[in-house]
Amino acid sequence: MAVQAVESRTSVPSAAPFGPAVALSCRECGERFDLGPSFACTSCFGPLEVAYELPAGDPEALRRRIESGPANIWRYAPLLPVPADVADRPNLEPGLTRLVKADNLAAELGVTGELYVKDDSGNPTHSFKDRVVAIAVEAARAFGFTTLSCSSTGNLAGAVGAAAARAGFRSCVFIPHDLEAGKVVMAAVYGGDLVGIEGTYDDVNRFCSELIGDPLGEGWGFVNVNLRPYYGEGSKTLAYEICEQLGWRLPDQIVVPVASGSQLTKIDKGLKELIALGLVEDRPYRIFGAQAQGCSPVSRAYKDGHDVVRPVKPDTIAKSLAIGNPADGPYVLDIARRTGGAVEDVDDERIVDAIRLLARTEGIFAETAGGVTVGVTRKLLESGVLDPALTTVVLNTGDGLKTLDAVAAGPTATIRPSLEAFRAAGLCEQ
């Protein structure tokens, strides 16, 4: 694997800006469209996704090509809608985050098989959003956009601000006005415009959809609206990395947080691609969705046996998952059911307990979204839905430093600097 520093030189426009991608395809009716800044089918209004002609041939050669690539998501460039020279362009170089074998956590949860935590807090702005934004930035370049934008629950705003700064775009991002301090500062510090919206994430999202149709939004690439088909593909890299880090092996069970639901659907897409390419064995895997009880429209629909997701008004500490009207909710339901998984939710108290549990056992400080996946994993083990004897991967998609208030941890004692004071504090008995 090449670990050399990536140059940020201005690169010559690539002949094939989207690499192996050949079209946008409607997820509902299958109609195909040219690769462009579109996100909805003109026939049926279904969401568009990227369609590929993926490299055929010897899987072993492809594996070797990937393994000798850069130590970030660009090792998978042959499977992404990006130009072949993408690693040479100025970007944040996200990905190849740790897959932690979590034996201590497994022991506490009664898992007898292998348990892993995919810790995406190691990305440049400390959430998985750096993956999706990196792909969207390349699409924005290809389409000639000059401003990068998004609606965000916080993590995405920081990821867009940082990526735009490095790649030479103006940025203007939109967040609900009441986010955590860490997320607000991180979204603002890169020098772009940050706009607080008086409302929920769903209000912010609606506003962005309006803006995109208005002359005000001309030349703007909204990473999760008009660039959404490209953006979403970044989440496939989580599936690729997990399998490569397991030694080119599928996990049996994977627990994924559900906000819009996009990430879960793209992890499924990534796993299917690896099977189709012969990079991993063709055998079943189960995907589980995890929500916070205070914003659990998909979990609710799953439990009620519905195919349709009824929007809710979020009320949870897991603000990064607080999307009351999840665009990909129905697809999440379909994947959970088709693969033999499930969708479950946990309340805020269990979220905080799970953050502490993961920190105490594996030294990983997750944001509330990580508390949701670990909490749901525990709940699904308790109810016998997750099989404790199989290989399970739990995603931590964000960083505890961005949701400090959730855990309210502090000193055990505060003392004068003397042995006497320390002795009196009673911390020495082990």
Q: Is 25 in the site for its own copies (CB under 8 A)?
A: no
Q: Which of 86, 194, 292, 374 touches its own copies (CB under 8 A)?
A: 194
Query: Considering only 21-29, 117-125, 266-274, 279-287, which stretch makes contact with its own copies by CB under 8 A?
Result: 117-125
Tallying the residues shown for the chain, one arrives at 430
What is the spatial distance between Cα 356 and Cα 51, in angstroms, rounded to a whole number? 41
Q: Which of 233, 344, 345, 362 touches its own copies (CB under 8 A)?
A: 362
Instruction: Supply 223's token pair.
Output: 């990473």
- Decide if 92 contacts 148 (C-beta within 8 A): no
Q: How far is the CB of 154 from its own copies (least distance, A)?
A: 12
Query: Considering only 19-27, 240-248, 262-270, 374-382, which stretch makes contact with its own copies by CB under 8 A?
Result: 240-248
Instruction: Supply 371's token pair.
Output: 């508390």
Q: Is 99 in the site for its own copies (CB under 8 A)?
A: yes
Of the pair 189, 389, the CB lying nearest its own copies is at 189
Q: Is 77 in the site for its own copies (CB under 8 A)?
A: no
Parallel, antiparallel, or unpaired: how do β-strands 286-292 and 193-197 relate? Answer: unpaired
Instruction: Supply 194's token pair.
Output: 């940050």
Q: Is 126 in the site for its own copies (CB under 8 A)?
A: yes
Of the pair 268, 399, the CB lying nearest its own copies is at 399
Query: Considering only 14-22, 190-198, 275-283, 337-345, which stretch makes contact with its own copies by CB under 8 A?
Result: 190-198
What is the spatial distance between Cα 246 and Cα 5, in angstroms, rounded to a whole number? 26
Query: Considering only 51-59, 155-163, 223-231, 264-272, which stretch makes contact with its own copies by CB under 8 A?
Result: 155-163
Q: Is 143 in the site for its own copies (CB under 8 A)?
A: no
Distances (CA, A) of 1 to 67, 72, 96: 6, 10, 12
Q: Which of 15, 34, 144, 216 touches its own copies (CB under 8 A)?
A: 216
Burial class (CB in 10 A: 0-12, 13-18, 19+), 15: exposed
Q: Which amino acid is at 132?
A: V
Q: Which of 27, 63, 65, 206 touches its own copies (CB under 8 A)?
A: 206
Closest CA to 248 of 283, 279, 282: 279
Q: How far is the CB of 39 from its own copies (least distance, A)?
A: 19
What is the spatial distance between Cα 90 and Cα 14, in angstroms, rounded to a whole number? 14
Q: Which amino acid is at 38?
A: S
Instruction: Show contacts with its own copies in window 244-303 (CB under 8 A).
Output: 244-247
